């Protein structure tokens, strides 16, 4: 979910080809949830499954979207979440309840034949399992695409890597990357393309957006610590409700007027279960470090074993996709040893 800073953050739309030659750390969990939510049957809301009933939406999305990114000349590095901070436990439990409620509404919508509601509630009921995460890592290994296991939040590790120059930017839909200190954030990277608008028979073209932290801070007239406070007022993964009645514009006004966290807390009512100091310090100095980047040479046999042998994907389509990329000098083969 993350903090919602839309409306005040300056973002620039770019062509995906302008990212050619760039190494980008992609928030794996955020991306896989996108696939689990969107790759579903229009009329039943069911995710893609193999002949054994196992969900494969995440593998389909990961395979084809990764290959598309690499064909565009981008070198993705997927960052997987580690252990969440203890103070996030309550939020995680609340999200489970929300998904369970969405699942009930999804089933009711199916019985009533309400197509738009089916899709909406099915997306809200999407669940990620450890098995799905493990399958995703094995597929990336087979593709020769590098990935990193973060000690805690994936976005924090991605921001750390960007700061070290290991990657050029972070790729995520969440604004939290900026709070963690990412110098560059690329949004819409894994959902670029033509998309149907919810509840309407209209389509829009989604373009990648680039957000640069220094420009954000300069245009807003604040520093990074104040950006963290701003996010906390609006609501983050660790205090989702934020401060009642405070949106991004009001939060910016409060931060510019009161400057520091101590001063801000004297003028707002902090009702989160976790203390403001803990949330602030976690964003400012999260668990992250110099970690092993796992990846190697593409293994075509392993790709076929995973996608075709284990999960019933079309062999012709899988083989064709891999062949196309191998032949493309600007594609996947360029990045593999």
Question: What CATH number did the domain enclosing 199 receive?
Answer: 3.40.50.1010
Residues 212, 226 within the same domain: no
Has residue 281 been placed in a domain? yes
Residues 163, 275 within the same domain: no
Has residue 32 been placed in a domain? yes
Has residue 23 been placed in a domain? yes
Residues 130, 254 within the same domain: no
Residues 228, 206 within the same domain: no
Dist CA 91 CA 1 (whole Å): 11
Q: Is 169 helix (H, G, I), strand (E, B) or coil?
A: strand
Has residue 291 been placed in a domain? no
Has residue 174 been placed in a domain? yes
Residues 203, 229 within the same domain: no
* 199: phi then psi, degrees, rounded to nearest 5: 75, 5
Dist CA 82 CA 287 (whole Å): 10
Predicted confidence (pLDDT) per residue in 259-274, tens digit:
999 999 999 999 998 9
Dist CA 170 CA 178 (whole Å): 9
* 265: phi then psi, degrees, rounded to nearest 5: -65, -20
> How many helices, marked H, and strands, marked E, lie in the chain?
14, 9
Cβ neighbours of 22 (radius 10 Å)? 17
Q: How confident is the model at residue 230 (pLDDT cuts 50, 70, 90)?
A: very high
Place of tokens 């493309």: 328
At 328 the pLDDT is 58
Q: Which of 195, 220, 245 is the last residue of a domain?
A: 220
Owning domain of residue 229: 221-285
CATH of the domain at 228: 1.10.150.20
At 336 the pLDDT is 44
Residues 82, 21 within the same domain: yes
Predicted confidence (pLDDT) per residue in 298-336, tens digit:
899 999 999 999 999 999 999 998 887 676 544 444 454
What is the CA angle 286-292-297, rounded to 5? 140
Sequence-distant (6+) residues with CB within 8 A of 286 are 152, 153, 156, 159, 160, 180
Q: Look at residue 144 and tell me whether its pLDDT is greater than 60.
A: yes
Beta carbons of 17 and 91 less than 8 angstroms apart = no
Has residue 303 been placed in a domain? no
Has residue 322 been placed in a domain? no
Predicted confidence (pLDDT) per residue in 78-102, tens digit:
999 999 998 888 888 888 898 999 9
At 330 the pLDDT is 46
At 269 the pLDDT is 92
The first and second tokens of residue 71, run together, are 């064909």
Residues 225, 208 within the same domain: no
What is the value of pTM for the model shown? Answer: 0.90
Q: What's the total number of domains in the chain?
A: 2
Q: Which of 173, 196, 220 is the last residue of a domain?
A: 220
Q: Which of 149, 131, 185, 147 is nearest to 10 (CA)?
A: 185
**Count, residues in the chain:** 337
Has residue 164 been placed in a domain? yes
């Amino acid at each position: 979910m993350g903090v919602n800073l839309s409306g005040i953050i300056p973002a620039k739309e770019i062509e995906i080809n302008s990212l050619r030659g760039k190494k980008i750390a992609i928030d794996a969990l955020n991306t896989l949830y996108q696939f689990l939510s969107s790759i579903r049957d229009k009329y039943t809301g069911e995710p893609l499954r193999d002949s054994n009933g196992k969900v494969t939406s995440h593998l389909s999305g990961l395979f084809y979207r990764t290959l598309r990114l690499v064909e565009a000349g981008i070198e993705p590095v997927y960052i997987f979440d580690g252990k969440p901070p203890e103070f996030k436990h309550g939020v995680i439990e609340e999200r489970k309840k929300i998904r369970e409620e969405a699942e009930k509404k999804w089933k009711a919508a199916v019985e009533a034949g309400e197509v738009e509601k089916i899709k909406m509630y099915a997306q809200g009921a999407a669940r990620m399992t450890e098995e799905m995460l493990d399958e995703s890592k094995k597929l990336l290994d087979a593709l020769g695409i590098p990935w990193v296991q973060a000690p805690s939040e994936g976005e924090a590790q991605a921001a750390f890597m960007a700061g070290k120059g290991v990657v050029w930017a972070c790729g995520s839909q969440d604004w939290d990357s900026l709070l963690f200190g990412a110098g560059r954030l690329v949004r819409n990277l894994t959902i670029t393309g033509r998309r149907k608008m919810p509840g309407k028979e209209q389509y829009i073209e989604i373009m990648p957006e680039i957000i640069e932290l220094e420009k954000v801070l300069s245009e807003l007239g604040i520093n990074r610590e104040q950006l963290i406070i701003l996010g906390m007022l609006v609501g983050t993964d660790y205090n989702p409700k934020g401060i009642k009645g405070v949106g991004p514009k009001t939060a910016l006004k409060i931060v510019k007027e009161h400057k520091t966290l101590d001063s801000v807390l004297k003028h707002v009512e902090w009702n989160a279960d976790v203390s403001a100091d803990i949330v602030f310090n976690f964003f400012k100095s999260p668990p992250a470090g110099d970690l092993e980047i796992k990846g190697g040479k593409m293994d075509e046999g392993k790709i076929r074993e995973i996608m075709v042998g284990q999960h019933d994907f079309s062999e012709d389509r899988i083989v064709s996709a891999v062949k196309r990329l191998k032949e493309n000098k600007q594609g996947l083969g360029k990045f593999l040893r």
